[in-house]
Amino acid sequence: MRTTTTDPVALAQSLIRCESVTPQEGGALTLLQTLLEGAGFACHRMTFSEPGTPDVENLYARIGAHGPNLCFAGHTDVVPPGDEVAWTMAPFAAEIRDGALYGRGAVDMKGEIACFVTAALKYLGANGGKPQGSKGSISLLITGDEEGPSINGTAKVLEWLKQRGEKLDACLVGEPSCRKVLGDEIKIGRRGSLNGELVVKGRQGHSAYPHIADNPIPKLARMIERLAGLKLDRGTERFEPSHVAVTVVSVPNTASNVIPGQARALFNVRYNDTHTRGSIEKTIAACCKAAAEEIGAKFSLTFSGTGDVFLTEPGRLVEALGEAVREVTGHTAKLSTSGGTSDARFIKDHCPVVEFGLVNATIHQVDEHVAIADLQTLTRIYERFITDFFAKA
Ligand SMILES: [Zn+2]
């Protein structure tokens, strides 16, 4: 099907029809590349690999040779459809019913990509094919590895850009940020996320002779109770209080008359800007050590991290976006830091970053769908935002 460059709905449909479940490219990046090259963007396709992870394709497209470089970041990969029989409409058919477009990725986030590309092409069309005459650049950083391990995606494209000496000056991540209506929330930061593994070591033995064994289970229970009850802070102006969630407790044992040799718990910490990755690890380690000393537990504690906390202080970028949302929808968007992590966690080390996209009510669900009207409204918001960004640059 031919893509009309000025219609976000047709473009979203074409993208949904590319079956790009992570790590499959599914034709989605090629479709965008063809469209953007036709509009004068210089496109770079990058495939990154890493032992133990699937190869992933990425696309960086830029028009304009000067700064400021306004970047839109997103992903064409989608989560699997799950039980396809449960879908009212086939997940990759991109059908429209009752004013809504159905399909995997309609909201997360092929819809937003279609809106931004449409908005950018409209803006360029109205400005002689270049951002603000000849100043400034518009770029798109589109990965195929956001829903997967996120190793061969945005982080590596950013590294590639840095090595080329290419700078992003501001970035809009098109993740679905709204809760109930389009325009109700802009994300200006994300909490940090840290995973921990706590293993308590004991001594295996017969349950009838507990004095010659050392049962790690009650000790682990005491320690995770302390962790779960840890008051890390009271929250900040922009963030909810930090918390520890114990998510897995496991003991390698199947016999009720055997005291196991060790017991293990996994937990996840979501922390705000009162902490850093380093300070939160220290706090957790100190809590475990204090609890272990009281009960004489031998333990090991290891951390693996996903994203560190970040906040883009309200400034020109956030204001320009808030203003565009207000002009187009009449809503004053709440500046939020709630929710999980996104690729903004990598971008924040390179330039100010905000996230704004569609209503996230159906993401990752059966019958993911977006209102056609929202696709049109979001396109207008993005176009307004691009115009204001360069007008004030
Ligand atoms: Zn997403």
Q: What is the pLDDT of residue 103?
A: 98
DSSP 297: -
**Positions of the chain with pLDDT under 70:** 1-5, 133-134
Nearest in space to 201 (alpha carbons), one of 266, 288, 260, 258 = 260
Q: Cβ distance 273 to 189 under 8 Å?
A: yes
Supply the pLDDT for residue 313: 86
CB 86 within 8 A of CB 73: no
Cα 329 to averaged position of ligand 1 atoms, centre (Å): 23
pLDDT at 2: 40
Dihedrals phi, psi of 384, to nearest 5 degrees: -60, -45
Whole-number Å distance, alpha carbon 390 to ligand 1 midpoint, is 26
Q: Please, what's the b/e burial string for 96-126 (b: 16 or more CB within 10 A of its CB; e: otherwise)?
A: eeeebbbbbbbbbbbbbbbbbbbbbbbbbee
Catalytic site includes residue 77:
yes
The alpha carbon of residue 122 and the mean position of all alpha carbons in its chain are separated, in whole angstroms, by: 27
54 burial via Cβ count (<10 Å: 0-12, 13-18, 19+): middle
* Ligand 1 centroid distance, CA of 343 (Å): 9
Distances (CA, A) of 377 to 61, 346, 387: 24, 28, 15
Q: Determine the pLDDT at residue 1.
A: 36
The enclosing H or E element of 140 equals: strand 137-143
CA gap 278, 218 in Å, rounded: 29
CA of 354 to the centre of ligand 1 (A): 14
Residues in the chain: 393
Prediction pTM value: 0.88
Identify the active-site residue in 77, 343, 368, 374.
77
Summarised one tens digit per residue, pLDDT across range 253-296 is 999 999 999 999 999 999 999 999 999 999 999 999 999 999 99
* Active-site residue, selected from the candidate residues 57, 108, 112, 146: 146
pLDDT confidence of residue 133 = 64
Per-residue pLDDT tens over the stretch 173-213: 999 999 999 999 999 999 999 999 999 999 999 999 999 99
Cα-to-centroid distance, 318 and ligand 1 (Å): 20
Residue 342: Cβ-neighbour burial (10 angstroms; 0-12, 13-18, 19+)? buried
Q: How far apart are CA 392 and CA 111, in angstroms?
A: 27
Query: What six digits make up the tokens of 12?
Result: 């979203």
Report pLDDT for 341. Answer: 80
